[in-house]
Structure formats: C-alpha cells, structure tokens
Amino acid sequence: MPMIDCRPYILKTVSLRYNGADLAFDLSHALFSSNDVDVGSRLLLKSVVRQVPAGSVRSVLDIGSGTGVLGIACAKSFEADSLLLVDRDALAVAFSLHNARRNKCRGVAAETALFLDGLDGRTFDLALCNVPAKAGTPVLDWLLRHLSTSLTPAGVAAIVVVNTIAAAARLSLEAAGVSMKHSEEGKGHTTFLFGRPAEAAGQALPAGQGVALPPTIEIARRTELQAAVLAGKRYAFRGYYGLPEFDTAAFATELAADLYDAAAASFVLQRGLALEPGAGRLPCYLRARGRAPLDLCSRDALALAASRANLTLARPAGGAPSAETGAAAVVEPEADYAFLEDVPASSCNLLAAFPEVIPGADRSEAFWQEAARVLQPGGLVLAVLPATFFDRLEKRKPRGFVKQRQKKRKGQVGAVWRFEGLPDVNG
C-alpha cells in the first residue's frame, strides 16, 4: 500500500522511556492522543512489562495502532523479531510505520484493516489493543470474544478499556472462555491480560487452518435496510456502528445533494470520486441518478467498506450507451483509495468532497492541487465543509476553478466549481 508523507500532519514529538528503551513518537492532531502518550496506554504498558516474562515474545500485533506507541514500545522492550501494526485509519498506519522506523524496530509491517480482518490465521506472541469505546457494543463484544484467536499457543493478549465499558468487556472475555492472567483498574481505565481458552492453550493449529472469522463490516451493521431520500432521489441504505448518519442524512450531505441536483441540469457524470463519504449516503444518491462508476476515497477503511456495501444495494455501475452501437461502453472497475494522492490522474469528471479539517495542518492548497490532477477538463468540484473553514478553502483556490454556485445550510457551506484547466505558468 502506498504510504502518505506524514510530515505535514506532525504536531509534535514526544519521548517515552519504557523498560530501559528510550523511544520517540511523532504525534498528530489528526490522530488519537495528539498531545502525549495517553493514560490508558501508559497503564497497559505498565501491566505488560510486569506480567509478561522477558524472552517470551518474538512477534507483536498492535490492533488499532494509532501512532504505534503500544506495539513499538513492546517490540523494543521484548526485542521482538516482528511487529504488525493494524489500524482502520490509513494515516494512523502511515504514522505507525513512520514511528516504527524512527525507533528502529525489526521486521515491521503495517496494514490498513478493521480489527482482525486480514490476519488470515496469523498468530502472535503478544496482541495489544487500546480498545475504542465508540466502535459500538456488538463490534467490541465480537472483537473481545475473538481476539485470542490471534495468539500463539502460549501467547498473551493485553487490552485497555475505559472504565465505563470495563464490566461489559469482562463479560465478553468470560463468554469467550479466555484464560485470564491479570486485570488492573486505574482511575479511568482497566487493563486485561489473557491467553487462549483453556482447551486451546498449548495447542498449535495446523498450517493454513487458522480460525476463519466473518468480515468486521458484517458485525458492524447497525440498522436494517432502510429506504431513504436525498434531493428527491430514493436509495437503499444501511447504517453502521462507528460511522455517523446511521439513521438520517446530515445537513452537509443534504446540502451536497441539493448542489449537485442544481448542477446536474448542465452536467453529465461520466465517472465520480467521493472523498470522505462516511457510510455512503452521497454516493448512493449519485448512483440513484445514474449508472456512472463511482470511486471512493477515505483514510477510514470502515467508511470505504460501508459505502461500498451500500452502493451494492443499488444498481451496478455501467457505461452510457454508444450512439453508434447502442451498447454500453466498457468502464474500468470501481476503485477505493485511501488518499487523493493515490487516485490516478484525469480519472474522473466529478470530485464530490467533504474535505477533512485538521487543526494545525491546513491541507486546502494540497486539496486543490490534487483536484486539478484527478479531474478531467470541464469536470466539477463539489465541496461542503463547516462555514468557518470554507473561506480558507476558497482563498487557497487557484485560477482555473470557476465557481458556479454556492449555498449555506445550518453552519455548513457548499459550492460547485468547474475545472477549466490550470493556467500555463510558462505562457
């Protein structure tokens, strides 16, 4: 997976001394715990170094790695041969890899995935997780019931949760039958260290016969299939835990649909790109208007999975019929990307965007640069964001983008610009 340059997102560098190792971590406002190593992680690291024997860990897994603090600290402390850093946020994965290299960890790999997805039976001596309370009760219950499947026969899982969900976490672990080794309650967090269930402890699985688990996106379904309407167009939709708009469209989405509805009178969508689509309401609306292929772009693997799942509820993409033959044109398969920088040049004629606002990292100029790169001449940029940040985006706009319309709603401002090509600086 191509990695984004972390440097524009770095807020500060913090140091951490752990079990004799001097470590340094670059942090970001775009990621969890941007000011320092958080209290929950510190409590978990203390529990691990006290309870896990030295020399017992050769492989480390960090689920929901963020900036990589837990996995990197333990990999260095135990002198592990391998470290796998996993997060649903592609920027977190990039920061984890960046910090692992900074701290000279061995055998490092980093993957964008949802919790246990993609492990494919791989097992580890130590599995770490700072459990995200907002992931949703069914998702967290599923994670805790199955986390021990990622362990080697003598492996240890070490997790930390906020105290408000500690009782529920304990019930999930008890239901899974794990071998509880240690639990410690702090002022705001509780740690649990546990091994595989007693009947599985010490038993190695045959090669290629790891536990097969359903994709997390199936566990994350929050609502039943619902009929929804945006700008007069009906579409099928399902909400997901961990994402907004599970029951109704946000004002920003309604505004975006209204703006596109007005623009569509003089515009033919050939291929669209939705940036930060959430659970996919705007892409579903665009699909309801026609069969043009829709690519998706988001740091968040959950958003990509949910949006794509919701798009599959609609009619499939297809090319417009040829005037000569009447047959549908052949189109490239729809694709998902983590960053705009990953999208092929001149690949779409609509960029429908909810640009992310990151304190301390103004990405407005980079947004316009990438918009000019991915759009075909004559294509449209449709962008909606909070009013306080819209002016900043507008001020960074280069010549070559001509505003066609603008609209406000409930603190959100949106606009449509036509891309007429960047001026020739040599002309």
Beta-carbon contacts of 79 under 8 Å, excluding residues fewer than 6 positions away, are none
Percent with pLDDT over 70 in the chain: 92
SS3 333: coil
Kindly report whether the global pTM for this prediction surpasses the value 0.85: yes
Residues, the chain, total?
A: 427
Segment 45-84, tens digit of pLDDT: 999 999 999 999 999 999 999 999 999 999 999 999 999 9
Same domain? For 175 and 252 the reply is no
Number of domains in the chain: 2
Tokens linked to 156 = 């240890």
**Parallel/antiparallel/unpaired status of strands 294-297 and 179-185:** unpaired
Residue 427 lies in a domain: no
Residue 424 lies in a domain: no
Segment 274-322, tens digit of pLDDT: 999 999 999 999 999 999 999 999 999 999 999 999 999 987 777 554 4
Same domain? For 174 and 233 the reply is no
Tokens linked to 17 = 């001394």
- Among the candidates 173, 191, 216, a domain finishes at 216
The arithmetic mean of pLDDT across residues 252-273, rounded, is 97
Same domain? For 182 and 63 the reply is yes
For residue 262, the tally of other CB atoms under 10 A from its CB is 15
Tell me which DSSP letter residue 355 carries.
P
Domain interval for residue 286: 226-319+329-419
Q: Among residues 191, 165, 222, 166, which one has the least CA distance to residue 51?
A: 191
Same domain? For 160 and 244 the reply is no
- Among the candidates 216, 247, 270, a domain finishes at 216
**How far is residue 71 from each of residues 88, 108, 109, 144, 219, measured CA to CA in Å?**
16, 10, 11, 18, 26
Tell me which DSSP letter residue 292 carries.
-
Q: Which amino acid is at 288?
A: A
Residue 93 lies in a domain: yes
Beta-carbon contacts of 344 under 8 Å, excluding residues fewer than 6 positions away, are 374
- Among the candidates 187, 216, 245, a domain finishes at 216
Q: Please check the confidence at residue 210 and state whether its pLDDT lies above 70.
A: no
Q: Among residues 149, 145, 146, which one has the least CA distance to residue 124?
A: 149
**Residue appearing with tokens 């980079």:** 366
Rounded to whole angstroms, the Cα distance separating 238 from 242 reads: 13
CATH number, domain containing residue 365: 3.40.50.150
**CA count, 13 A, side-chain hemisphere, 137:** 6
Q: Among residues 103, 93, 81, which one has the least CA distance to residue 16?
A: 103
